[in-house]
Structure 1
Amino acid sequence: MHNTRYAPSGMVCSVDHLASAAGAAVLDRGGSAADAAIAVNAVLAVTAPHMCGLGGDLFALVYEPPGRDGGSGTVRALNASGRAGSGADPDGLRAEGHERMPHLHDIRSVPVPGCVDGWAALHARYGRLPLADLLAPAVRLARDGFPASPLMVPGARVAAQRPGGGDFTAARAPGDRVSRPGVARALRAVGVAGRDGFYLGEFGAGLLELGAGEYTRDDLAAPAADWVDPLRVRAFGHDVWSMPPNSQGYLLLMALGIADGLELPASPAHPSWAHLLAEAARVSGHDRLSVLHEDAKDLLAPEEIARRRALIDPAARLRLRAPAEPGDTTYLCVVDGDGMGVSLIQSNASGFGSMLFEPRTGINLHNRGIGFSLRPGHPAEYGPGRRPPHTLTPALITRPDGALRSVLGTMGGDAQPQILLQVIARLLRHGEEPGPAVAAPRWRLGTGGTGFDTWDAPDDTVVDVEEGAPWTNGLAALGHPVSARPYGSMFGHAHVIDVRPGGMLAGAADPRSLVGAAIGR
């Protein structure tokens, strides 16, 4: 359960051993870390539709190692999150009585999916092998069938009842063979014609049909992927990097900046360790609904981090009085023999997403539009061409000299920054190996709701504590409402690849994923 895998010249971690194996094979053929990441994600788009897919969005951080002339490496950030269609009409939703975006079964919560545009951008900049070759393992699994994973089966039973969800009728028990011929066709089209083979091909035609005015052909013709400047904070003697808005990556970095100035106990088993980190997460995120939108700036000002840190009481839970307004995902990481690292996260948002299926290929569509606001004039208001606030939070760590230390991330909706806060503290503050750091019990801030409503009422959040954690009684004594929860996927699927000073790689896939794997070469 606590296994750390080691490898000398490349490693892949993901939630599915079939996907990790596809990525490792790409590294063996001389592909880059970006090539391998695309191959892994493509397999996951077939085998893990309850987490991600071609109908979802993508974010990635890429570490470019120094050139032959030396110097520091460079961190690049790719935002491949889709935009609402030209027909987006917030007034229409409000007129129907909606106060927030519909969670399921409504095309208006489906921005144009950005995943394939993300693959195209990664491949254009860093690819070494032909795109069709990278997608070939995924095409084969979609065409010939793959074993249903234990985590997919419960959602597949529901998805199979929806229009267009017929691919999942075969997924009655773990190990049942599931094929997805429409997804195979879509992947082949991407391999032949790139992003236009997808957005302007069979999938795009079906999306226009299903959208019934929500999108135009021009919406689908416009690439959704942008290279942007990453965010960074210094914590525990390292630089930690994540995505800028519209991602909530700033919450991870702010919480780390706050935690770096707190007196954390020497052992993560001490209740104060969980208390201080949970409070760092709460003071970072309580106003997220007000401040996070695609154009947000200066969220990590040092004086603001210091101000929020000063709110924390080591001996009691804070009462938050700042105003607040009334998923699923998969993460993967790769490091190649040249030192390039890719931290990639790709998502449907909530389980199978919107529970809508593009009618020609059967690709399930995300519901990332639930991040939009329906409050008139809000900076994140639903509207044409806009990107919604996103929970996706990939992370990358560099050493003070600029060398790559770690690539890591997790699924988990609103809880992603909270999960990564704990894993990073274990790695950097306590010197744990990736295996124990990933497998250790966790806490998260919960409401018992959708997993995307943590900050609706910040003072009503409960600290969900995973089975086996040592903090339950201590947190309750410090004033936290505590709920005991079983060890499992509700606390994320975190994966880590750590780069040792001599170049040896140490990695771990989260045991909560059941079929995940860290594979080295």
Structure 2
Amino acid sequence: RRGATRSLAELWEPAARLAEHGLPCSAKTRDDVRSALDAVRSDPGLASVYVDGGLVPLVGDRLPQPDLARTIRELAHDPASFYTGSLAERCVAALRDAGAPFSGDEWVATGTVTPEQALSGRYAGAVIHQTPLPTPGWMVLHQAALCDGVVGSSPLLSAAAIDRMARAARTAFEDRLRWCSADNDGAARILDPGHIRAGRDRLSATAPAGAFTVAGGDTTSLVTVDRDGRAVSFIHSLAFTFGAKFTVPGTGIVLNNRLGRGAYLIDGHPNEVRPRRKPLHTLNAWIVTDEAGALLHVGNTPGGDGQVQWNMQLLSHLLDHGLDPQEAVSAPRFTVFPGSDANVLGDPAELRIEADVPPEVRTALSEMGHDVRTLEPLGAEGSAQIISLDPRGVLSGGSDPRQEGVALGVE
């Protein structure tokens, strides 16, 4: 309604055709089916697509999803039916038949979605626009505020730069665990200038933080810029591989398990599981503009708790060091562990870093107090996508070599 030049039915028809005829199976899809084979076989909807005849698909096998194609077309003509029509009724019925305590009112209550303003902050002279709660976009802005003017003064991926970004990431996860839910003011409290100043002072004076108390996934992302300069950064996830491993019969819709990954069974915690709660999650997407609002960069990456860390690293590569999009997504990557997933809280603190970071840098980080765990080159996961717009109006794109992805330009 706000910016499209075509109808929803026209925009979604190519997706419906792809579902109807089937995309070729990729290596990652094959491996995902193998990793969740018993669950895939036990769900009739998943089994009909991914293990037809009982066998794991081969790379290149087409995987038709006729039920999903039909659902896409139905929603394109009547999006409200997802919340109040026959599709909504089928979803609620499937959940109730499986034992979930749904009345159906929950579905209707979510039928009105009000677009929210992005969260914005500054880094290296640019403006970063991030997704608001319940996403962790504020965590990227938190790290950016803790690193601005510090990381950029150090060489690219030097021990000093990695140390600062790693400790900023740990601080963001600690504050998330201590204060944040999707419906409180924790994020605003964390981004308060006074809190940021205190955090910068603490990072300038202290050694790496230890573990704090209180991996695979199924995420797709893309970025795109049109000829008029309008940019979209989009990310969507089922949480873990194949989400809840539960398909609504006859629809092709696989339900996610985001609540189970994003909320805690900790009495009194700000993000404790409760009815109708929006859980904090790991998905976030960003756009960078100059002070006047002109587009500079747009990007994101899948990767669970790695997202907020790798997005900060990408922003530093672009804004501090002037890397182009492909250089930025291909650069060596590091990850602090644990993050926010309930099953790893309190695990020993590690700094996981790809082996193509020079040995002397990894040694220096160990001497700084980090418990360094070396990964294979390009072994830190993620699948970052970036498009940049230069002052001449030229678009350039980069696609992460760590997973299946592609950068395409169409005249």
TM-score band w.r.t. shorter chain: 0.7 to 0.9
- Give the counterpart of 1:168 among 41, 50, 71: 50
Q: TM-score, normalised by structure 1?
A: 0.70
Structure-2 residue corresponding to 1:514: 404
Question: Does the 8 A contact of 1:190 with 1:198 survive in 2?
Answer: no
Paired residue secondary structure (1:127): coil
Query: Is 1:358 paired with 2:254?
Result: no
Structure-2 residue corresponding to 1:408: 299
Residue type at the aligned position of 1:270: S
The CA distance in 2 between the partners of 1:225 and 1:426, in whole Å, is: 35
Query: How big is the shift at 1:214?
Result: 3.0
Structure-2 residue corresponding to 1:398: 289
- Give the counterpart of 2:24 among 128, 143, 147: 147
Question: Does the 8 A contact of 2:208 with 2:368 survive in 1?
Answer: no
The CA distance in 1 between the partners of 2:70 and 2:171, in whole Å, is: 47
Q: Evaluate the alpha carbon distance shift between residue 517 and residue 303 of structure 1 in structure 2; reply closer, same or farther with a 3 A threshold.
A: same
Query: How big is the shift at 1:206?
Result: 3.8
Provide Cα deviations, 1:434-492, integer angstroms capped at 9, x if missing partner.
11011111001134xx983597238x221111242224223222211111223457521
Query: How big is the shift at 1:319?
Result: 3.1
Residue type at the aligned position of 1:423: L
- Give the counterpart of 2:106 among 219, 231, 237: 219
Structure-2 residue corresponding to 1:38: none
Residue type at the aligned position of 2:14: P
The CA distance in 1 between the partners of 2:376 and 2:60, in whole Å, is: 24
Q: Evaluate the alpha carbon distance shift between residue 130 and residue 263 of structure 1 in structure 2; reply closer, same or farther with a 3 A threshold.
A: closer
Structure-2 residue corresponding to 1:242: 130
- Give the counterpart of 2:33 among 152, 156, 164: 156
Identity %: 30
Provide Cα deviations, 1:483-518, integer angstroms capped at 9, x if missing partner.
122345752111111121232212112122224333
Provide Cα deviations, 1:394-441, integer angstroms capped at 9, x if missing partner.
111110222121111111111111001111001000011111011111
Q: Evaluate the alpha carbon distance shift between residue 173 and residue 452 of structure 1 in structure 2; reply closer, same or farther with a 3 A threshold.
A: farther
Structure-2 residue corresponding to 1:494: 384
Query: How big is the shift at 1:309?
Result: 1.4
Q: Evaluate the alpha carbon distance shift between residue 374 and residue 263 of structure 1 in structure 2; reply closer, same or farther with a 3 A threshold.
A: closer
Residue segments in structure 1 that go unaligned for 5+ positions in a row: 1-123
Query: Is 1:210 paired with 2:95?
Result: yes
Q: TM-score, normalised by structure 2?
A: 0.88
Provide Cα deviations, 1:296-329, integer angstroms capped at 9, x if missing partner.
3223111111111111248x742358x641x332
Provide Cα deviations, 1:271-311, integer angstroms capped at 9, x if missing partner.
22211111111122213122221223223111111111111
Residue type at the aligned position of 1:251: M
The CA distance in 2 between the partners of 1:155 and 1:493, in whole Å, is: 16
Paired residue secondary structure (1:511): coil
Query: How big is the shift at 1:163?
Result: 1.5
- Give the counterpart of 1:374 among 265, 284, 295: 265
The CA distance in 2 between the partners of 1:128 and 1:380, in whole Å, is: 40
Structure-2 residue corresponding to 1:185: 70
Q: Evaluate the alpha carbon distance shift between residue 520 and residue 268 of structure 1 in structure 2; reply closer, same or farther with a 3 A threshold.
A: farther
Query: How big is the shift at 1:348?
Result: 0.9
The CA distance in 1 between the partners of 2:40 and 2:329, in whole Å, is: 33
The CA distance in 2 between the partners of 1:199 and 1:176, in whole Å, is: 36
The CA distance in 1 between the partners of 2:85 and 2:407, in whole Å, is: 35
Query: Is 1:130 paired with 2:26?
Result: no
Question: Does the 8 A contact of 1:206 with 1:360 survive in 2?
Answer: no
Query: Is 1:457 paired with 2:342?
Result: no
RMSD over aligned CA atoms reads: 2.4
The CA distance in 1 between the partners of 2:4 and 2:171, in whole Å, is: 41
The CA distance in 1 between the partners of 2:135 and 2:41, in whole Å, is: 32
Q: Evaluate the alpha carbon distance shift between residue 208 and residue 486 of structure 1 in structure 2; reply closer, same or farther with a 3 A threshold.
A: farther
Paired residue secondary structure (2:181): coil
Structure-2 residue corresponding to 1:51: none
Q: Evaluate the alpha carbon distance shift between residue 263 and residue 382 of structure 1 in structure 2; reply closer, same or farther with a 3 A threshold.
A: closer
Q: Evaluate the alpha carbon distance shift between residue 493 and residue 353 of structure 1 in structure 2; reply closer, same or farther with a 3 A threshold.
A: same
- Give the counterpart of 1:342 among 232, 238, 241: 232
Question: Does the 8 A contact of 1:135 with 1:188 survive in 2?
Answer: yes
The CA distance in 1 between the partners of 2:234 and 2:176, in whole Å, is: 23
Provide Cα deviations, 1:186-221, integer angstroms capped at 9, x if missing partner.
111112222315763346414432234533333223
The CA distance in 1 between the partners of 2:268 and 2:340, in whole Å, is: 25
The CA distance in 2 between the partners of 1:490 and 1:203, in whole Å, is: 39
Residue segments in structure 2 that go unaligned for 5+ positions in a row: none
Residue type at the aligned position of 2:148: D
Residue type at the aligned position of 1:196: S
Question: Does the 8 A contact of 2:235 with 2:283 survive in 1?
Answer: yes
- Give the counterpart of 2:86 among 201, 205, 210: 201
Question: Does the 8 A contact of 1:355 with 1:364 survive in 2?
Answer: yes
Question: Does the 8 A contact of 1:147 with 1:178 survive in 2?
Answer: yes
The CA distance in 1 between the partners of 2:401 and 2:164, in whole Å, is: 26
Question: Does the 8 A contact of 2:399 with 2:405 survive in 1?
Answer: no
Paired residue secondary structure (1:519): coil
Query: How big is the shift at 1:265?
Result: 4.8
Query: How big is the shift at 1:259?
Result: 0.5
Paired residue secondary structure (2:336): strand
Q: Which has the higher contact order (CA 8 A, sep 6+)?
A: 1
Q: Evaluate the alpha carbon distance shift between residue 472 and residue 292 of structure 1 in structure 2; reply closer, same or farther with a 3 A threshold.
A: same
How many aligned residue pairs are there? 392
Question: Does the 8 A contact of 1:411 with 1:492 survive in 2?
Answer: yes
Paired residue secondary structure (1:330): strand
Question: Does the 8 A contact of 1:414 with 1:453 survive in 2?
Answer: no
